[in-house]
A and B are shown apart, each in its own frame.
Chain A
Amino acid sequence: MTATTKGFQISMAAAGRLLIGFVLLYAIIAAGFSIVFLRKIENDARYTQEQQLPLVMSQNRNAIKVERLASLARSIYLAKDRELERQLQLQTHVLAQSFTLDENNELAKGVLDVGASVKKIVAIREQVRKMDSGASAAMDPGIRADLEKQALEIYQNAMRITDKLSQSMISDAAVLAYGMSGDIQRTARMIQIAWIIILILPVITAVGAIYIVARHIISPINSAIEGLQSIDRYETRGFKLRRPLFRELSTIYEAIEAYGRVSHDLLRTNSILQALSEEDGLTTLANRRSFEKRLEDEFAKAMGGETDLAILMVDLDHFKSINDQYGHQMGDTCLKMTANVLRSVAAERECHAARYGGEEFSVVFPGCSLQDAIAEAEKIRLSISSLIIKTTHDEVIRITASVGVASVRSATFQGSAELLENADRALYLAKHSGRNIVKALPSSGRTDLKSIPA
């Protein structure tokens, strides 16, 4: 019946605070994670913007410049005009020099090689022109062809260098771009995973919270309500409550259980009080009040169902003298013995015996005819007169009783009181007929004294 208090228990307020604390902590952690990730993205973006992008742009720019250098070299090789060669060579010089501004030694070296090659080509062309202008006749076609061959080889070599450089520029840029996109992809995946975790956890927590509310709040409340209902139904068996997780609920449980105990006790006290109010203290027979109520009920039943009903009024003879002679205690003993006689009758057939007052008793026989009632009355009278009551001084007291009998069929009665009055008059008749006798009034209802044959 009592909720056990041992074991783990937590107050609902503390649980609520714990939950709020957890949510706050979680929000802070999630925000922290987000900030860390966003900062990482920001840093990556800044790194890309400030480092990688300029690198890609400079690779791209250098690739274009290398192409430009190659086209200048090609123009010089094809120019065969002194002034044009000079203009182009000046441009080549500046362009080649500009590569030394970037910290890329391989590139600078290649470009300067091309610049040197261009110079050589111009020098060869100048040599040829001098030979042409100096002594055209003396110009050996062999030497000229040889010089042209040299120029071609230098030109081809320069082209190979520029091709190689621009290839490596472009593939370097591609590798950088690939690396950049790879970094972005990795960060995106990390963020994706982190956010899945961040979002899944609250879902799990929510499911857990719903489970806890259902199991540890709603179900205990339901069993508490059931407990209250069982108290309402006056179920005497105590209800068993499972120990709740939350302290507040166990307080409610204890209150309900205490209420159950109190109302059970009250119920019992009530039944005892009711019994006491309908019982005669001395003889434990029904008292006059409950007899009259019973009579009224049985009278109504007999009137309605047209069944018979008889009552007896039993009065001990000369009881006052017994009291005077042997004391009230002996008087009480006599009364108790008489009550026992009446009780034994009640054990044999349906009837209700009561102490009507003083030394007067009454018995209701539902569905009993006047004749039968007279027979029962005679048995009672005999039983009482055969009682042997011993005093403390071993003296024997003998008592007798006069009995008045009345039946609803012997006259027309307006109420149970009239029937009772009729029985009373029969008793009066018995007293006047010498006591220790059973009497009933004649069916006319008149008070004429008429002896009923035994």
Chain B
Amino acid sequence: MKTTSFAVVTIAVLTFACVATADELKLKIATEGAYPPFNSIDASGNLVGFDVDIAKAVCHEMKATCSFIAVPWDDIIPRLENNQYDLIVASMSYTDARAKRMEFSDSYYRSHSAFAGDPNRFKDISPAALKGLRIAAGSQTIQSEYLQKAYTESTIVLTKDQPEAQKLLQAGEVDLVLADSIDLLTFLQAPESSKFDYVGDPVTNDFLKSSAHITAHKGNHALIAKVNEAISQIRLNGTYDRINNTYFPFSIY
């Protein structure tokens, strides 16, 4: 009788110990899935792209088990605030307004916005020159915010994601698209976009310089600290460069 109870206790303790050690970090990560080459859904329905690979590498460094979910851009911040996932890895640019709602990690790449359109029609991209024209940008992006602020005389067409904006350009429904230059590169390199190009000289406007970050719930400093540590680790151990090189011909860090 005594031996039995001792065995039961031992098994219970061992089980508890196993559960305790198996209690590793489990994270749910949201991305948009409509922002190639950073994040998109491939033919078999899997999330792929630079953001997704970086997120996987960061998870590996943090020894976390991660699951991914695709969330429309407009919903991505509110649903984080509703605790539906732990992190957003979706080329999130830093803005002061967003920083009030989320915790930002160190940046994992930097980029620049550019206009794309018919190079024969447009040379000048000043607000005055683009007066009365239709310009598309993804809704709730730094580009749409900038357009609404600076190009008040133009018609700003907000789209739910980047592919939609690009389709509008191809269909001739808008004259120009303002988007991330790396994102546009993929679009412009496609054969069906051959008549479009970057329009205007490279813009050195500070507002259009952007950096991409991983974000977490407001106040979750501990998780962000782990993420930062993981980002610097993948930068140092070559993982970042390997991922970078599979998507881009040069370093975007």
Contact = CB atoms under 8 A, between A and B. Distances in A.
A-B complex is real: yes
A97 B182 CA distance: 10
Interface in B193-232: 194, 197-198, 201-204, 209
A51 B197 CA distance: 38
A100 B114 CA distance: 13
A98 B211 CA distance: 11
B251 A64 contact: yes
B134 interface: no
Contacts of A95: 249-250
A65 interface: yes
A441 to B, nearest CB: 121
Contact of A68 (B114, B204, B250): B250
B112 A115 contact: no
A101 interface: yes
Given A65-B250, A90-B188, A97 B194 contact: no
Nearest to B182: A94
Interface in A122-176: none
Given A61-B251, A97-B114, A90 B209 contact: no
Contacts of B181: 93-94, 97
A100 B250 contact: no
Nearest to A68: B250
Contact of A65 (B112, B182, B188, B251): B251
A96 interface: yes
A100 B249 contact: no
| Residue among B182, B202, B204, B251 facing the most chain A CB atoms (10 A cut-off) | B202
Interface string B107-131: 0001110100000000000000000
Nearest to B194: A86
A111 to B, nearest CB: 9
Interface string B82-117: 000000000000000000000000000011101000
A35 B188 CA distance: 58
A397 B30 CA distance: 153
B203 to A, nearest CB: 8
A101 B188 contact: no
A389 interface: no
A383 interface: no
Interface string A59-81: 00100110010000000000000
A97 B251 contact: no
Interface in B225-253: 249-253
Nearest to A72: B249
A95 to B, nearest CB: 5
Contacts of A93: 114, 181, 198, 202
Contact of A101 (B110, B114, B185, B197): B110
A100 B185 contact: no
A386 interface: no
A395 to B, nearest CB: 132
B114 to A, nearest CB: 7
Contacts of A91: 185, 249-250
B189 interface: yes
Contacts of A108: 204
A86 B196 CA distance: 10
Nearest to A90: B188
A87 interface: yes
Interface residues of A, number: 20
A100 B203 CA distance: 9
A177 interface: no
Interface in B159-215: 181-182, 185, 188-189, 194, 197-198, 201-204, 209
Nearest to A97: B202
Contact of A97 (B112, B189, B197, B249): B112
Q: Which of A65, A96, A98 has the most CB of B within 10 A?
A: A98
Contacts of B182: 94
A41 interface: no
Nearest to A119: B201
A337 interface: no
A108 B201 CA distance: 13
B202 A90 contact: no
A224 B197 CA distance: 108
A100 B189 contact: no
Contact of A98 (B112, B197, B203): B112
Interface in A33-74: 61, 64-65, 68
Interface in B51-89: none
Given A90-B185, A94-B181, A68 B202 contact: no
Contacts of A115: 202
Contacts of A65: 250-251
A108 B204 CA distance: 10
Contact of B252 (A96, A98, A112): A98
Contacts of A64: 250-251
Given A108-B204, A112-B202, A115-B202, A87 B251 contact: no
Contacts of A97: 112, 114, 181, 202-203
A103 B252 CA distance: 16
Contact of B198 (A90, A100, A101): A90
Contacts of A83: 194
Nearest to B186: A90
A100 B204 contact: yes
B243 to A, nearest CB: 15
A86 B253 CA distance: 24
Contacts of A94: 112, 114, 181-182, 185
Given A68-B249, A87-B189, 12 more contacts: A83-B194, A90-B189, A91-B185, A93-B114, A93-B181, A93-B202, A94-B112, A95-B250, A100-B204, A100-B209, A112-B201, A112-B202
14 contacts: A61-B251, A61-B253, A64-B251, A87-B189, A90-B185, A90-B198, A91-B249, A93-B198, A95-B249, A95-B250, A97-B202, A97-B203, A98-B250, A115-B202
Interface of A: 61, 64-65, 68, 83, 86-87, 90-91, 93-98, 100-101, 108, 112, 115
A-B residue pairs, 4 tightest by C-beta: A97-B202, A101-B110, A97-B112, A68-B250
